[in-house]
Amino acid sequence: MAKRLVVKVGEYQKDGETKGEYIKVGVILHGDKGEYALLDPTVNMAGALLKQRVMNQGKQNKGKGDVVMCSIFTDEPKPQNNNNHNNSNGYQDGFNDDPGF
């Protein structure tokens, strides 16, 4: 089962609620010898750190860190379907890129 590594880099308002803006920085996979991470080499971690600092600016003891904080989300297995028809959202079964948060 894969786990996604994501970094919260901002917030926005939608329908009166505060939502998080996330970037996916990699995945954690499980192999024969344990877990390992695959990091996306196109993600600028210095940029992610800067955006986290700006997002947390003015909050007590936040916004001054020297590390990028990542969240880990476990992907839940989707129910298997024996047909390969498109879902109503336009994605092929099993290939839904919606992050779900």
Q: Which pLDDT score, from 0 to 100, does residue 64 have?
A: 65
Query: Is 45 or 87 the better-scoring residue by pLDDT?
Result: 45
Q: Is 24 helix (H, G, I), strand (E, B) or coil?
A: strand
Q: What residues have CB less than 8 Å from 46, skipping those under 6 apart?
A: none
The 10s digit of each residue's pLDDT in 6-28 is 999 999 999 999 999 999 999 99
Full-model pTM: 0.64
DSSP 63: S
Q: Is the dihedral angle over the CA atoms 49, 50, 56, 62 positive or is it negative?
A: positive
Residues in the chain: 101
Q: What residues have CB less than 8 Å from 29, skipping those under 6 apart?
A: 2, 3, 35, 36, 37, 38
The 10s digit of each residue's pLDDT in 20-72 is 999 999 999 999 999 999 999 999 999 999 998 888 887 766 656 788 989 99
